[in-house]
Structures are given as structure tokens and as C-alpha cells.
Structure 1
Amino acid sequence: MQFHIITFGCQMNAADSTWLSRALTAMGWEEVSEEEAQVFILNTCSVREKPEQKVYSQLGRLRPLVEQHPGGFVAVGGCVAQQVGCEFWKRFPFVRLVFGTDGISNAPQAMARLAQAPDLRISLLDFSESYLERETPEYKTKAPAQAFVNIMQGCDNFCAYCIVPYVRGRQKSRSSQEILAECRTLAEAGTREITLLGQNVNSYGLDKSGDGTSFAELLHQVAAIDGIDRLRFTTSHPKDIAPEVIRAFGELPQLCPYLHLPLQSGSDKILASMGRKYDTARYLDIVDQLRKARPDIALSTDIIVGFPGETEDDFSRTMEMLERVRYEGSYSFKYNDRPGVRSVRMAGKVPEDVKSERLERFQTAQNAITEEIHKSVEGSRAEVILERPTRKPVEGLPGWTGHDLYNRVINVPVGGQIASADLTGTLAHVTIARGRRHFLIANRMEEL
């Protein structure tokens, strides 16, 4: 069978889709373009606004492509699948598999059954009590230079606005030995950078599935694997970050000097209403400790604008935190209700036009800070792992893009004999020529 995967949302979904692709390929299936596929897999996200409508729109677009292939079908997985479930079948009869975040481990076998039984439908929506290990196919070719490794599933925090605990279940930590085995396999196959993933990596090992290994200990163990040059992790909840994790930024040369540390709001009143379990003083103390451990560390964050009850004074405190911390980047969004979460019932909903105006103010200020930081590194040297060719030429030459240690996007113009080479995964040392708002441009590179 020929298949095509469409992925929405977070890095965990990207990692899940990568695993699904490898698992199906190991079964003898072939990953192809959308136009050629018989089977489509939608890996969905329900965190942001109107995610169900986006999935329904995608399914409507795919209908004629599916119907032109006898035996063709669609599998819908991820958070929206967990949320909507078998209701998909009523509206979209060509959807024959729905699988939740815990059901993904059995999805390849389910799709194989569906390919043999055209009238069958399968749902994999039950939550498990422990992390379900997945069989990891061997790499027949070189592994990607950068890879995501899941270390846990679900979340126990139940922040007032967040649907994640309802669609991904309660927190379940993965066995540290399984994590280390996967990291070793990746390193042996050529991976040089690993990002450890979880809804809240700082609480890794603190649930009943934990095996006694703390997150800080796990960082040290992964960093010790031969061949791993870079190590990152996300997402990090401020309430759970341990002193040992902060110290690791100064102790482990493999741990990149970059951390995504969600703030959500600069108002202590709003943070309490959100159920975040920290205040701005605690958050700023963490920032100060991080910069003491690793003075050059780059920070990014998440911001929700217009949470119920947010006043202009509350928002001004968020702007003050932006100026105080000076994030290199941020993911900022207008608050929107998600089904079943506590904030849906809260009073004081902020008008849409007010949310839009505040979001524009925040993003304008963030863009100015980001561009200023990028300008400040002009003329410096940077280490970048080249990931893919740029869509457009860079300085009139073929270009490659990648990330440096600080997670900054660097576009590199390439000339000479390497202009036509496949540079995927190449570790390059470049000089930054110009800093732009969203990326950096390096000087021309003609040799490795």
C-alpha cells in the first residue's frame, strides 16, 4: 500500500509521524506524495482554535483522492481523534481508523488489517495506565542528523485553559532504559542531535510509571552516549524545574544553551487563575539561575493574550516580563475556549478586538527584541547543522538552512564545488553576516 502522512501541531506529533512512517515502511508499505497515496494518515492537534474544523476541511479535500483508489481509506490519529472519536465515521465513511495518543503503537497493525478487510473499521481510543513501548524499526540507511525522542506521555497539571490532559491522558513516564536504548540506536545510525520530548519533561519520573530516574539524571545519561553532540528538551514547566536541571546547562557541554520556558502571562493574578502554580517572582528567579549557570543561554516562551479576567494592567505586566527577560522568540496566541476545560466557565471573557490589539502590541515588541538580538551577533562564528535546502536562493546562491546551538535559524549561501552536494546533516562553522527578524544570514560557504 502507498501512504501519505499529514501532521498538525507539536513536535510530539512530528515525532509520532516519523515513527509511523518508519513502522509502515518496515511493513512493506511505501510513503509517497499526496497525489499517489491510497491511504492517508492525519495526525491531529486540538490545542489551538477550531482544530476540528481544520481536520474536517482537510478530510473534505482528501475525499476525491481517496475515492479514486479502490480500498483506499483515511486514518485519523492524535488529539482530535481522541476528542471526536468514532463520530468521524458518521460524517466521513472513508475514515476507517481513529486512534488516540495511546493507540498509536497499534496503528500500523490496524492499518494492515484494514487493507485486507475493506468493510472493517477500527478505533484505538483507550488510555493505558503506563507508557506503551513501540517496536522501533532498524535504520536501513543513515538516520537523520537530528531526532526527537519521546520520554513520556500525557500531563497531570490540568491548567485551566489546556485540553492536553483530556486528549493525551495522565502522565506516564517511559522507562529510562528504553529511552537510552533508542538514543544509542540513533547515535549509532548517525544522529548527532537529540531533543527529548514530553508535555512536561521536568516532571519525568515523578509518576507511578517512573523507574527512579530523575530528569536531571536522564540528561546526564543521554549526554554520555558516544556520538551525541547536541542535546535539547521541551516542554519545560517552570513549577517543576529542579536545581539539578538548571545546573546541567553549565555542566553538560552537549546540552544546548537554549530553553523554551513557557510563561503564559506576566500577571500573578492571571497565573493563579490559569492554575500555573508559580508566580512571576519564582519565574524570574529561575531565569536568573539559568543565566548564572549558562550566561549565554537563549530563552523562548509561550504567551496567552486575553485570558478570562485579563485587564489592561494584567497585560502591561506581561509586556514588562517581555522586556525584563528579553526572550529571543515566543509563541503568542489569543485565548480561545477548548471543550471541557475549566476556563470555558470563567467570567470576564475579553472581547475579540481587545485580544487582537494586545496580541499585535506584544508581537511587535517581541519582533523588535528578536531583531536586536540577531543584529548583535553579526560578525560572530556559529555552528549550524544543515537541515534542508532553502526555498529561495540566499544572496543569489543555492542556500541551506539549519539551527545553531541557540536554536536560531541560519540560512547559508553555498557556492563552489559543494553547491550541488547533498549537505543534509552536515555540521558547518559559519560567520554571521546579517541578522534579520526571523533568521540569520551567514557568509558564503564554499568548503566544509
Structure 2
Amino acid sequence: MRVYIETYGCALNKGDSYIMMTLLRDKGHEIVDNIQDAEILVINTCAVRLETEERMKQRIKELKKYNDKRLVVAGCLASAEPAVVVSLAPEASVIGPQSVQKIVDVVENSKQRQVYLNEDKPLITPKVFDGKIAILPIADGCAGDCNFCITKLARRKLRSYPPHLIVESVRDAVRKGAVEIELSGQDTAAYGLDLGQIKLSDLVRKVTEVEGDFMIRIGMMTPEQAMRDIDGIIEVLRETKVYKFIHLPVQSGDDNVLKLMNRKYTVDEYKDLVKEIRKKVPIVNITTDIIIGHPGEDENAFRNTLELMRDIKFERIHLAMYSIRPNTRSASMKQVPDPVKKERIQIANKLYEELAYEIHSDYLNSIASVITTEYGRKGSVIGRTLNYIPVVIRQNVELGKRINVRINEASFYDLRGEPIS
């Protein structure tokens, strides 16, 4: 069969799509790049925010119009809100994110609609990737129970991939030309809780032992799970093959809001964690997520979040305005009015851009060693510094190479420069 796969959402979702591609190719099916060539259409959905869900609904409706092709709806929307998917596309097969291994059964059974939401089957790592970046899921699900999170409903159970499978996939990806290995998960620091005597740092150390010239990017982790393995995480961040980068979502700078979110740390504990990491990995890039307008966020709480942004000076912040997600506890709380949320997100975005531009301006006129990993816009190439800041190179240099770049321009989002010999 000829299968077209369209992917939305986080790196973990992308990893799931690569797993589906791997399984289908192993069975002799063909992955095609456009809808017209396909017999089966797969949409791997995201449901993290309300506007994302609406976009998914619209796209399902559009794909449904291809009457001569079978439709498969996969991903977080399929698992968290299966009734919504069925109402939109009653003839479509449905696969939850923890059942992606069932894609072959769905593709090869042309006679009836199939639904697989939470199949407890052996985990499989991907053997395909795009460009020079290989996304490898190391764990599915998480150990937390955040009140605002719908992803917890979509990926209900923590399942860590066996270390030998991950190392095998890394070795295969590097052999095929990958120069960046992204270890992804809902909460990478929760890795191994279900396996016993192994933690994230143990896994990363095993990956660094794979031969080849490549860098490892460790995916998002919650502060509470990072604290469980902080000495080990700091140790592997100092490895030469590991980007000096940590994605550590704080979500709010106010202790009361953190309690309402059911986050398992205080603002001071988060600050101490960041201080410890920066002390021992001086050039580390601390990236975070912040939700603006969660229930319980009054003016004082919002000011506390702005103050935390000024205090820590994150290199990057993924700011999001809170949106109600069905079947979550935060949805039943007293909501912050939309006009207030919109005003606050504008203020937070402005502050973030000012702070990030100030940080990036320190790189002007310096020479950065970068690894080129992907193509940018208008013929440019994107490289990454040792601490994972994107550098836009205004020349068509070869991907997968380590080059020196003179930084001559900065924005709040990236650095820009010219290659030098």
C-alpha cells in the first residue's frame, strides 16, 4: 500500500510517525510524500491546546473529502477525545499514540474500521529520520499528573524504551548520516522509573559511547523528575557529545498557581535547580515553558512570573496562553477572563523578546562553532551552537558539518552570521 503520513505536535509525535514509517516499510509498504499518490492517509494529531485541536478538526474534515482513500486518525486527539474523532470521520480507523505499532494491522485490513487506543505491546524504536536530525523516543507517557494537561489523558502510562533498543537506533541513525540525536519524551527525566535500576543519565551515557561524530539533544523534562537525577544529568551535560541544553518547564513563577497546576516543586526549588546546573555547566542553555492565565493567576501571581523571567533570564521561553482542555481538573476551576489573559500574554511576550535579545546580543562579533543540521528560508542553512542556539547561515553550506561562523546579527529568536575558514 502507498501511505501518506501527516504529523503535528511535539518531537514525540514526530518520533511516533517515524515508528509507523519504520513498521510499514519493514512490511513492504511505501511512504509517499503527497496525498495524490497515496491509497491511505494518516494524520498524526496533537491536542495540547484548544486552537491546535480546532486545527486538527479542520484538517480531518479536509482529508475526509478524499473519498477514494482510507483515512487513519492517530495521535493525541485520537486517544484523548476519540468521540470527537468518530463524530468527524466515522469511517476512519483510530490509533492512539501508545498503539502506533498497530499501524500495519490497520493498513493491511482494508475491510473494516479499526480502533486501537491503549494497546500494551512491545515498544519499537524508529529506523528512519529526515535530514540530519534523528528523533528517538526514549519514553512514552509520564509520571506526573498536571491538572491542565490533556496529553496525560492521551498517553496514560509511562513506558520506557529498553536501553539496548535506543542505543541500537542511535548507532543505526549515525551510520546513516545523522549528526543530531534528539532523545524525546513527555518527560525524559522520568525515564527508567518503570524499568528499575536505570535513570536518564545512565541512558545518555550509554548513547555517548556510540562511535561517530554526532551530538545528543536531551528532550523536555519536569523539574521534579530532574531533581531525582540532577547529579547524573549535570554529569552527562558536560560530556563532549551532549548539547549544553536543558528544557525545564517552570509553567508559572507563583507558588499558589503551581499548586493549582499540581506541579511538585516551589519557585525557590526551581531557582535552586537552575543555579546548580548553571554553576556546573556555565554555558548551559536553560529553556522553559510558561502558561499565562491558568486558573488562580491573579495580578500578583502574574507579576511573580514576570519577575522570575527577569531573574533567571531564560535563553528561550515557550509562552502559551492557557486554554481549557476537556476532562482536565483545571477546566473545572474558576477561569481567568480571556481579555485579561490576552493582555498578559502580550506583556510576557514583550518582556521575553527583550530579555532574549539582550542574551543573544552578547554573541555579536564572536566566532561560534556550529553543526549544520537543516535548511532554513531563502537558501539559508541552520546550525546549532554547543548550547543549542540556532544560527542562520546565509550561504548554502553542506549539512552535517562542523563549521566556524562569525556572528554579526542577533534577534530574540536566533543568531545570524557568515562562515569563516
Determine if the TM-score, normalized by the shorter chain, exceeds 0.5. yes
The letter for the 2-side match of 1:406 is N
Name 2:5's counterpart in structure 1.
5
1:38 aligns with 2:39: yes
1:19 aligns with 2:19: yes
Residues 387-438 of structure 1 deviation map (CA, whole Å, 9 limit, x = unaligned): 333322xxxxx42123222222211122xxxx5x7x2323322121211232
User: Residues 216-231 of structure 1 correspond to what in structure 2 (within 5 A)?
Assistant: 216-227=201-212, 229-231=214-216
Q: Distance in 2 between matches of 1:211 and 1:143?
A: 33
Q: Quick one: which of 346, 350, 368 aligns to 1:364?
A: 350
Name 2:117's counterpart in structure 1.
125
Is the contact between residue 261 and residue 299 of structure 1 (CA under 8 Å) also seen in structure 2? yes
Q: Quick one: which of 200, 204, 209 aligns to 2:187?
A: 200
Name 2:73's counterpart in structure 1.
76
The letter for the 2-side match of 1:44 is T
Q: Quick one: which of 258, 270, 275 aligns to 1:283?
A: 270
What TM-score does the superposition give when structure 1 sets the normalisation length?
A: 0.88
Is the contact between residue 86 and residue 123 of structure 1 (CA under 8 Å) also seen in structure 2? no
Q: Quick one: which of 374, 382, 397 aligns to 1:401?
A: 382
1:428 aligns with 2:416: no
Q: Distance in 1 between matches of 2:263 and 2:24?
A: 39
The letter for the 1-side match of 2:385 is D
Q: Distance in 2 between matches of 1:52 and 1:433?
A: 40
What TM-score does the superposition give when structure 2 sets the normalisation length?
A: 0.93
Name 2:124's counterpart in structure 1.
134
Q: Quick one: which of 369, 376, 397 aligns to 2:362?
A: 376
Name 2:415's counterpart in structure 1.
440
Q: Judging changes above 3 Å, is the alpha-carbon distance between structure 1 residues 32 and 251 closer, same or farther for their aligned structure 2 residues? A: closer
The letter for the 2-side match of 1:221 is K
Q: Distance in 1 between matches of 2:377 and 2:214?
A: 28
Q: Distance in 1 between matches of 2:180 and 2:99?
A: 28
1:337 aligns with 2:312: no
User: Residues 36-435 of structure 1 correspond to what in structure 2 (within 5 A)?
Assistant: 36-64=37-65, 66-67=66-67, 69=68, 72-85=69-82, 88-95=85-92, 97-114=93-110, 117=111, 120-128=112-120, 132-134=122-124, 136-137=126-127, 144-207=131-194, 210-227=195-212, 229-241=214-226, 242-249=229-236, 251-347=238-334, 349-392=335-378, 398-414=379-395, 419=396, 423-435=398-410
Q: What displacement does 1:278 show?
A: 0.3
- The structure number with the bigger radius of gyration is 1
Partner SS for 2:29: coil
Residues 77-122 of structure 1 deviation map (CA, whole Å, 9 limit, x = unaligned): 0110112326534442452x210012101213321222xx3xx111
Is the contact between residue 131 and residue 373 of structure 2 (CA under 8 Å) also seen in structure 1? no
Name 1:395's counterpart in structure 2.
none
Residues 155-201 of structure 1 deviation map (CA, whole Å, 9 limit, x = unaligned): 23111111122110121212122222222222222222211111111
The letter for the 2-side match of 1:11 is A
Q: Distance in 2 between matches of 1:232 and 1:5?
A: 25
Partner SS for 2:24: helix
Consecutive unaligned residues of structure 1, counting only runs of 5 or more, are 393-397
Q: Distance in 2 between matches of 1:308 and 1:135?
A: 38
Residues 352-391 of structure 1 deviation map (CA, whole Å, 9 limit, x = unaligned): 0100111111110100111112211012222333233332
Consecutive unaligned residues of structure 2, counting only runs of 5 or more, are none
Q: Distance in 2 between matches of 1:254 and 1:233?
A: 11
Moved more, 250-259 or 297-306: 250-259
Q: Judging changes above 3 Å, is the alpha-carbon distance between structure 1 residues 10 and 187 closer, same or farther for their aligned structure 2 residues? A: same
Q: Distance in 1 between matches of 2:63 and 2:204?
A: 42
Q: Distance in 1 between matches of 2:183 and 2:247?
A: 13
Is the contact between residue 57 and residue 88 of structure 2 (CA under 8 Å) also seen in structure 1? no
Is the contact between residue 400 and residue 411 of structure 1 (CA under 8 Å) also seen in structure 2? yes
Q: What displacement does 1:274 show?
A: 1.0
Aligned residues: 418
Partner SS for 1:151: strand
Q: What displacement does 1:325 show?
A: 0.7
Q: Distance in 2 between matches of 1:246 and 1:30?
A: 37
Q: What displacement does 1:35 show?
A: 3.9
Higher relative contact order (CA 8 A, sep 6+): 2
The letter for the 2-side match of 1:189 is K
